[in-house]
Amino acid sequence: MGSAPFEIRSSHMSPLARLPIFFALDGKRGIVAGGGAAAAWKAELLSAAGARVDVFAPEPTDDMRARAAAPPAGAITLHERAWQPADCGGAAIAVAECADDVEAAAFAAAARAAGVPVNVIDRPAFCDFAFCAIVNRSPLVIGISTDGAAPVFGQAIRARIETLIPNGFAGWAEAARNWRPRVQALARSFSGRRNFWERFADRAIATPDTAPTEADLEALLAPTHTAEAGSTVVVRTGPGDPELLTLRAVRALQSADVILFDNLVSPEILDFARREAKKMLVGTTGLSAASGRHDVSALMIALARAGRRVVRLKGGDAPAVTEIAACRAAGIARSCPA
């Protein structure tokens, strides 16, 4: 007989060399010890993030003076003296360019004693965090890290991503930040809000170099007949190699509310799904395949009628004729393979 479907938990996160986080520094105080080229670049980064930067350097370079004279955002103030432990008080972040490990250890100890996360440039043993290669389309920001293993490789990846991310995405990301309160104020259902942001993303990707306008917002807020409707998509995974998935299949997995899969589907395929999606193992055993397909079809129809976006993952090259036909007969939208 057909096995009863049951939900599984999302797969565990694989080990991370670093936890990627984005630190809010606007209006906060940062300190930089050192006046060389590396310290100057870090001072500019902190300023670009909105921090008020105090730089302690007995002999700041012309590069440091130039960046202090024209900071990208937060003020950069030069103190032409060596840093002191008391300078760490009240800071949100501390960075130093140190001549040797003795100075690095002293700076790190002073910062940590003040409860301040610290980075000593090119001395990872004394760092609480690391800087990364940045693709800047603020407020869309992408960070790339190799955990210090291959910085040049990280920069090469950044360069490749730069070619894939249009500059116009900055305007669309800013529009998303400005429009979000208005979308939330409409008190739409979760699926209604998600529908809005999916259509927003589609429009941004389709027209990245066209600045978003009020007309775009009005068009996206206009009611759609399918905003609350459920749907079904069947994805055949073939031999199980996730690199063989079609772009359409990946998009379906990333927008699904419920994913029904059998035991021939590899865990790597499920990693493409959004983490909030409910994942349910379904399938058949023994000689009861026909009964199992009927049960899965009925479950797909019930979930879609409840407004869920359902993806049926079928391992191997098994046909999906039964499920597709049943969903189409029930009038379910997008009852098709991907």
Name residues whose C-beta falls within 8 Å of residue 70's C-beta, 6 or more positions apart in sequence: none
Q: Is residue 122 within 8 Å of 104, Cβ to Cβ?
A: no
Q: Is residue 33 within 8 Å of 107, Cβ to Cβ?
A: yes
**pLDDT value for 337:** 62
Structural tokens at position 91: 């800071």
- Per-residue pLDDT of 231-266, as tens digits, reads 888 888 877 788 888 878 888 888 888 999 988 888
Structural tokens at position 276: 């909030």
3-state secondary structure the chain: CCCCCEEECCCCCCCCCCCCCCCCCCCCEEEEECCCHHHHHHHHHHHHCCCEEEEECCCCCHHHHHHHHCCCCCCEEEECCCCCHHHHCCCCEEEECCCCHHHHHHHHHHHHHCCCCEEECCCHHHCCCCCCEEEEECCEEEEECCCCCCHHHHHHHHHHHHHHCCCCHHHHHHHHHHHHHHHHHCCCCHHHHHHHHHHHHHHHHHCCCCCCCHHHHHHHHCCCCCCCCCEEEEEECECCCHHHCCHHHHHHHHHCCEEEECCCCCHHHHCCCCCCCEEEECCCCCCCHHHHHHHHHHHHHHHHHCCCEEEEEECECCCCHHHHHHHHHCCCEEEEEC
**pLDDT value for 204:** 93
**pLDDT value for 8:** 66
Which is it for strands 231-236 and 76-79: parallel, antiparallel or unpaired?
Answer: unpaired
- Per-residue pLDDT of 210-228, as tens digits, reads 999 999 999 999 876 444 5
CATH architecture of 229-337: 3-Layer(aba) Sandwich (3.40)
Going by C-alpha positions, the residue among 79, 73, 43, 39 that lies closest to residue 58 is 79
Q: Is residue 222 within 8 Å of 201, Cβ to Cβ?
A: no
Going by C-alpha positions, the residue among 95, 37, 96, 34 that lies closest to residue 63 is 37
- Rounded CA-CA distance 302/23 in Å is 44
**pLDDT value for 245:** 84
Q: Which residue has the tokens 């080229």?
A: 37
Q: What is the pTM of this model?
A: 0.72
**Amino acid identity for residue 16 in this structure:** L
Structural tokens at position 93: 């972040």
Going by C-alpha positions, the residue among 40, 25, 154 that lies closest to residue 96 is 40
**pLDDT value for 54:** 98
**pLDDT value for 314:** 86
**pLDDT value for 71:** 97
Going by C-alpha positions, the residue among 19, 213, 232, 289 that lies closest to residue 130 is 19
Q: How many CB atoms lie within 10 A of CB 221?
A: 15
Structural tokens at position 334: 């997008």
Q: Which CATH class is domain 29-131?
A: alpha beta
- Rounded CA-CA distance 33/101 in Å is 14
All residue ranges of the chain with pLDDT < 70 are: 1-12, 224-229, 283-294, 317-319, 333-338
Rounded to the nearest 5 degrees, what angle is found at the Cα of 161, between the Cα atoms of 159 and 162? 60
